[in-house]
């Protein structure tokens, strides 16, 4: 199975934030969309960084509440691991586990942002797949 299958089932909408937005603005965005990470993008289609709840917590611990008025660019991860729709689900899941990241932006062939996949999206997709297989086997055995 491919990442395109996960994206198809969850949808390809991606919330982005500009690097000059404040961390307080970022917190409002995370809360509004009930998400744990946002792609940082100057134009909404490039991947300039990624920032998660973990980044905010770490920087709050290190720098205190002054970080809330700082720009997102000061806390974002700028070296972002990305994936493509053609990636195998198992391969991307292994990469996420190895790198200890929970969100991976998915880019198209031109390098433009197409979606974002979380480890939760992958687990949900896989559980649904296993449930479907189980139901098919039960139906097969019953008939």
Strand runs (DSSP E) across the chain, as ranges? Answer: 16-17, 37-40, 49-52, 103-107, 113-118
pLDDT of residue 135: 80
pLDDT by position in tens, the chain (length 143)? 899 999 998 877 899 999 999 999 999 999 999 999 999 999 999 999 999 999 999 999 999 999 999 999 999 999 999 999 999 999 999 999 999 999 999 999 998 999 999 999 999 888 888 887 788 888 888 88
What pTM, to 2 d.p., does this model score? 0.85
Q: H or E stretch including 97?
A: helix 89-99
pLDDT of residue 36: 93
Residues 6+ positions from 87 with CB-CB distance below 8 Å: 2, 3
pLDDT of residue 31: 96
pLDDT of residue 52: 95
Q: Residue 105 forms beta bridges with which residues?
A: 116
> Rounded distance, CA 58 to CA 48, Å?
20
Q: Which fold has domain 3-142?
A: CBS-domain (3.10.580)
pLDDT of residue 10: 85
Q: Domains of the chain: which residue ranges?
A: 3-142
pLDDT of residue 1: 86
Matching residue, tokens 């809330």: 68
């Amino acid at each position: 199975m491919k990442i395109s299958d996960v994206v198809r089932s969850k949808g390809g909408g991606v919330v982005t934030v500009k690097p000059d937005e404040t961390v307080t603005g970022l917190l409002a965005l995370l809360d509004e969309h009930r998400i744990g990470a946002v792609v940082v993008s100057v134009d909404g289609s490039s991947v300039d960084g990624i920032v998660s709840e973990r980044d905010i917590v770490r920087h709050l611990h290190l720098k205190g509440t002054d970080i809330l008025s700082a720009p997102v660019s000061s806390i974002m991860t700028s070296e972002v691991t990305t994936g493509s729709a053609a990636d195998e689900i198992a391969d991307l899941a292994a990469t996420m586990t190895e790198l200890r990241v929970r969100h991976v932006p998915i880019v198209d062939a031109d390098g433009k942002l197409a979606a974002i996949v979380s480890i939760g999206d992958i687990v949900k997709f896989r559980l649904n797949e296993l449930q479907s297989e189980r139901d098919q086997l039960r139906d097969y055995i019953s008939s």
